[in-house]
Amino acid sequence: MLIKVNKIEAAQRQIEVAIRLLFDNEDPLAIHTLAMAGFRILRDLASKKRSNMHNMLQAMIQPGMESKFWGTMHSFANFLKHAEKDPDAIIDSVDEEVNYAILLIAAIYYQDLGHQLTPEMLALVSWYMAIRPEFLRKDASRAFQTQLIRAGSSLAGKPRIDQLKQGKYVLDLVRKYLS
Does residue 114 form part of some domain? yes
* The one-letter amino acid at 45: L
**68-91 pLDDT, tens per residue?**
766 667 676 666 676 677 777 777
Cα–Cα distance for residue pair 17/21, rounded to 1 Å:
6
Provide the angle, in degrees to the nearest 10, between the axes of the packed helices 160-178 and 7-23: 130
**94-105 pLDDT, tens per residue?**
778 889 989 998
Does residue 147 form part of some domain? yes
Task: Report CA-CA distances (Å) from 60 to 40, 41, 55, 65, 73.
Answer: 18, 20, 9, 10, 14
Does residue 1 form part of some domain? no
Cα–Cα distance for residue pair 130/135, rounded to 1 Å:
10
Does residue 14 form part of some domain? yes
Contact predicate 43/54, CB 8 Å: yes
Does residue 2 form part of some domain? no
Does residue 76 form part of some domain? yes
Distance from the first to the final alpha carbon of the chain:
28
Query: How many domains does the chain divide into?
Result: 1
The domain in which residue 79 lies consists of 7-84+93-178
Does residue 125 form part of some domain? yes
Task: Report CA-CA distances (Å) from 155 to 7, 11, 26, 133, 159.
Answer: 35, 29, 20, 10, 8
Does residue 26 form part of some domain? yes
CA 15 to chain centre: 7
Its pTM stands at 0.77
**49-64 pLDDT, tens per residue?**
888 777 777 677 777 8
Instruction: Among 1-10, 17-26, 38-47, 74-83, name the one with the lowest average pLDDT.
Output: 74-83
Q: Which residue has the higher pLDDT, 78 or 116?
A: 116
Confidence label for 139 from pLDDT (cuts 50, 70 and 90): low
